């Protein structure tokens, strides 16, 4: 039944009476303590922090006046170690210059902090404290709208986003919401506390509610009067557009390649939400807690921006951006020092680099490096190891100690027979050409000469090279013919079936007219043949049998071949390219790997057969055949024993640069 007027008035009066204490408090807004007091004091969050977590929080909030000798020691260690070589562990190397710039320019904290941390490294725990602290600051402003000179009816938001709303809700938003819910200082100001939404009344809101209830005889308000709102969003949500925000949290941004309900990447979400911070000026805060992933998308771009310096002045390009990159266990270090703990008692850290962690690293070193050591991966499920790719471009050290540098060059040398392949992709993708030959190179480990492939020429045509952004194959055939003529001893020029119907006959005609004897033909690529080609290339690469020149076809003049190789991934058992990110092509890889596969197939297949034979046990049962060592006729040092030892040796050795 509808409530009577008397009932509504009584309820309104009761609400007003309940607000008396809060109202009196609202006349004297609370103060903002330092970040560590706020985090640890039972009057506020009552959280437990480890020594290095305290250092990191003080650093984020520019509390240089509260730095202890321990803090300074940790900061100096972190700032000098990040780019010292090997794994990257630490913070922005020029952190002191950044601190100085921020303080001189009126900031009370870094505008943006990207915390690249290993799993279970406490990123969300710190995020909960940071989020609560920023909300408490809004309350200490009494009337934050007046403080920022914006409309009094405009609410201020803290958005927490992730790949899905449920992920945001269950992780970083939950950390913030629970920190606020259980902190006694927030109790008088909590208005609504739901699964994906929490709102807080400022002192000005409390006064507003009391005034309106007195004016309207205690009737309830039609609109919630709570100026500070925290909301969990998905990566494709449009809810954040058009609002004024004072903080943005991008949970696990490195993994936010696409949203679960749409195509929005982290970069798109970042660009869509950051304009909402403009109305709060230097109070704006962006926190990006994430474990690393591939060098793709907004998270890695921000990481690079946080380390960028002016080439002339060496000053940080983005001085109000702080980068922290720490393995899972680093934030918990020094827990065994009672003098650094709030209660003076040593604690057992929740995570240590102990024997169990070391065993996990031995079982899966690549994933451990990313997930626990917090190191960026070139690509998830990468097909090739980046350091091995780099070796392909190093000078070849000859038997006499001389260095042979590999460069694009023409013309060809008549003593070598050359092989060429053109990979003509769709007209809106790249087309690539590779030419190479083999030479016999003495291998000291095996004591024999082995064939090595030398890539003599690479060339890439891109859609952006043409006026209509589409490759004109008839236009580039003249360039292909011209290049082919520079190699008189070129024996084979192949295309795959996707472009052969356009150019093979024309090229055959042009080369015949120039009296060039190269065979122009089509190669039919299948899933199986592509797998064989990729595996042959990988085997030859890991053997150290491929030598190629650095090209400049990549982004900003980088080596496109190296980029494509590093970004290849093994997906559903197939070698494929990335669909998003800085490298989304593999045309040059296809051209080079075809040349390598055709030139070295006999040698690679022979070594593969020997390797498989070396790992097999010989156990022929017929009389007079070879027997296992368990046979009573087995004689140590005999021919059977020697053959077994050869097999064992082949299965274990790492010669020829092999990394199977």
Dump the DSSP string for 412-460.
--TTS-EEEEEEE--TTS-EEEEEEEEEEEEETTTTEEEEEEEEEEEEE
* Mean pLDDT in residue range 330-336: 96
3-state SS, residue 71? helix
Does 398 or 492 have the greater pLDDT score?
Answer: 492
CA distance 108 to 99: 10
pLDDT of residue 125: 97
What SS3 class is residue 154?
coil
What pLDDT score does 27 carry? 62
Lowest mean pLDDT among 54-63, 264-273, 314-323, 347-356: 264-273
pLDDT at residue 58 is higher than 70: yes
Q: What is the pLDDT of residue 511?
A: 87
Q: Is the sign of the CA dihedral 177, 183, 184, 186 positive or negative? A: negative
CA distances to 117, 351, 527, 620 from 326, in Å: 5, 13, 41, 56
Mean pLDDT, range 411-440, rounded to an integer: 89
pLDDT at 296: 77
Assigned architecture for domain 386-607: 2-Layer Sandwich (3.30)
Predicted confidence at residue 240, as pLDDT, reads 60
DSSP tag of 522: E
* Tokens 């709570």 found at: 226
| Per-residue pLDDT at 653 | 34
Band (621; pLDDT cuts 50, 70, 90)? very low
**Mean pLDDT over residues 610-625, rounded?**
50
Question: pLDDT at position 177, please?
Answer: 97
Q: Quick one: which of 483, 395, 389 has its CA closest to 436?
A: 483
Average predicted confidence (pLDDT) for the chain: 84
More confident residue, 613 or 149: 149
Mean pLDDT, rounded, for 67-79: 97
At residue 597 the predicted structure's pLDDT band, cuts being 50, 70 and 90, is very high
Is pLDDT above 90 for 580? Answer: no
Sign of CA dihedral 330, 334, 335, 339: negative
Q: Give percent above pLDDT 90 in the chain.
A: 58
pLDDT at 221 over 50: yes
Section 36-48 average pLDDT = 96
Q: Residue 378: its pLDDT value, please?
A: 79
Residue 89: pLDDT above 70? Answer: yes
pLDDT score, position 464? 86
pLDDT of residue 447: 83
pLDDT digits (tens, 9 = 90+) for 479-536: 999 999 999 999 999 988 765 445 677 788 888 888 898 999 988 888 999 999 999 9
Give residue 208's pLDDT. Answer: 83
- Phi and psi angles of residue 585, each rounded to the nearest 5 degrees, phi first: -125, 160
Each domain of the chain, given as residue ranges in start order, spans: 5-29+106-321, 386-607, 616-657
Per-residue pLDDT at 441 exceeds 50: yes
Residue 402 is predicted with a pLDDT of 84
Same fold, 5-29+106-321 and 386-607: no
pLDDT-derived band at 624, boundaries 50, 70, 90: very low
Question: What is each CA distance from 102 to 85, 114, 127, 448, in whole angstroms?
Answer: 28, 16, 21, 63
Counting beta carbons within 10 angstroms of the beta carbon of residue 17, is it exposed (0 to 12), middle (13 to 18) or buried (19 or more)?
Answer: exposed
Whether 337 shows a pLDDT value over 60: the answer reads yes
Residue 649 is predicted with a pLDDT of 42
CA distance 513 to 19: 97
Which token pair is 526? 């299948």
Q: State both tokens at 159.
A: 């958005």
Q: What is the pLDDT of residue 416?
A: 93
Q: What is the pLDDT of residues 267-288, one digit of tens each?
A: 888 888 999 999 999 999 999 9
- Give me the count of residues in the chain: 660
Domain 5-29+106-321, CATH: 3.40.50
| Max Cα-Cα span within the chain | 111
With 80 as the cut, is the pLDDT of residue 207 above it?
A: yes
Statement: residue 9 has pLDDT above 70: no
Of the candidates 173, 274, 183, the one whose C-alpha atom is nearest the C-alpha of residue 231 is 173
| pLDDT at position 126 | 98
Per-residue confidence (pLDDT) for residue 655, from 0 to 100: 31
Question: What local confidence, expressed as pLDDT, does residue 556 receive?
Answer: 76
CB 312 within 8 A of CB 102: no
Cβ neighbours of residue 174 under 8 Å, at least 6 residues apart? none
Chain segment 447-488, per-residue pLDDT in tens: 889 999 999 999 999 988 888 888 877 788 889 999 999 999
Confidence of residue 582 (pLDDT cuts 50, 70, 90): confident
């Amino acid at each position: 039944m509808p409530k009577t007027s008397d009932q509504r008035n009584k309820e309104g009066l009761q609400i007003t009476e309940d607000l008396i204490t809060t109202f009196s408090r609202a006349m004297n807004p609370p103060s903002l303590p330092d970040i560590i007091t706020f985090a640890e004091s039972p009057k506020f969050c009552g959280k437990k922090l480890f020594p290095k977590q305290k250092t990191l929080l003080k650093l984020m909030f520019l509390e240089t006046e509260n730095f202890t000798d321990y803090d300074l020691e940790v900061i100096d260690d972190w700032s000098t170690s990040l780019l010292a070589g090997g794994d990257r562990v630490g913070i922005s190397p020029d952190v002191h210059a950044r601190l100085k710039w921020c303080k001189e320019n009126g900031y009370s904290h870094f505008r943006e902090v990207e915390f690249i941390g290993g799993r279970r490294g406490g990123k969300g725990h710190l995020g909960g404290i940071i989020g609560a602290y920023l909300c408490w600051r809004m309350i200490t402003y009494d009337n934050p709208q007046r403080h920022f000179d914006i409309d009094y009816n405009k609410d201020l938001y803290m958005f927490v986003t992730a790949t899905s709303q449920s992920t945001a809700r269950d992780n970083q938003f939950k950390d913030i919401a629970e920190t606020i819910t259980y902190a006694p200082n927030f109790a008088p100001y909590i208005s609504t506390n739901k699964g994906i939404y929490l709102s807080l009344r400022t002192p000005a809101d409390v006064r507003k509610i009391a005034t309106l209830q007195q004016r309207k005889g205690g009737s309830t308000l039609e609109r919630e009067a709570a100026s500070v709102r925290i909301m969990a969003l998905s990566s494709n949500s449009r809810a954040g557009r058009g609002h004024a925000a004072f903080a943005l949290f991008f949970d696990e941004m490195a993994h936010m390649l696409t949203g679960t309900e749409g195509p929005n990447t982290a970069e798109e979400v970042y660009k869509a939400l950051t304009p909402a911070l403009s109305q709060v000026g230097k109070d704006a805060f962006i926190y990006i807690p994430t474990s690393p992933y591939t060098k793709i998308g907004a998270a890695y771009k921000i990481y690079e921006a946080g380390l960028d310096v002016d080439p002339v002045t060496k000053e940080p390009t983005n001085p109000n951006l702080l980068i922290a990159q720490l393995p899972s266990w680093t934030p918990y270090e020094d827990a065994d020092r009672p003098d650094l703990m709030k209660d003076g008692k040593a604690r057992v850290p929740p995570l240590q680099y102990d024997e169990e962690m070391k065993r996990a690293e031995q079982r899966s070193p690549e994933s451990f490096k990313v997930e626990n050591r917090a190191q960026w991966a070139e690509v998830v499920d990468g097909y090739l190891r980046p350091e091995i790719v780099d070796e392909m471009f190093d000078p070849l050290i000859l038997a006499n100690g001389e260095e042979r540098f590999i460069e694009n060059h023409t013309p060809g040398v008549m003593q070598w027979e050359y092989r060429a392949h053109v990979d003509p992709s769709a007209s809106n993708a790249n087309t690539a050409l590779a030419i190479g030959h083999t030479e016999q190179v003495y291998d000291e480990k095996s004591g024999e000469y082995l064939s090595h492939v030398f890539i003599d020429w690479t060339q890439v045509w891109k859609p952006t090279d043409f006026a209509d952004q589409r490759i004109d194959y008839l236009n580039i055939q003249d360039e292909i013919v011209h290049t082919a003529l520079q190699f008189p001893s070129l024996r084979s020029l192949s295309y795959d079936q996707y472009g052969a119907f356009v150019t093979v006959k024309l090229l055959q005609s042009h080369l015949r007219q120039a009296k060039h004897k190269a065979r122009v033909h089509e190669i039919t690529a299948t899933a199986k043949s592509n797998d064989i080609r990729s595996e042959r290339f990988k085997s030859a690469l890991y053997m150290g049998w491929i030598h190629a020149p650095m090209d400049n076809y990549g982004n900003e003049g980088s080596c496109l071949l190296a980029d494509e190789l590093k970004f290849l991934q093994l997906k559903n058992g197939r070698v494929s390219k990335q669909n998003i990110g800085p490298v989304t092509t593999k045309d040059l890889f296809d051209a080079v790997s075809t040349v390598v596969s055709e030139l070295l197939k006999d040698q690679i297949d022979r070594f593969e057969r020997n390797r498989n034979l070396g790992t097999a046990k010989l156990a022929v049962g017929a009389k007079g055949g070879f027997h296992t060592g368990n046979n009573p006729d087995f004689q140590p040092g005999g021919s059977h024993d020697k053959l077994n030892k050869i097999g064992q040796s082949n299965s274990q050795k790492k010669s020829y640069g092999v990394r199977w």
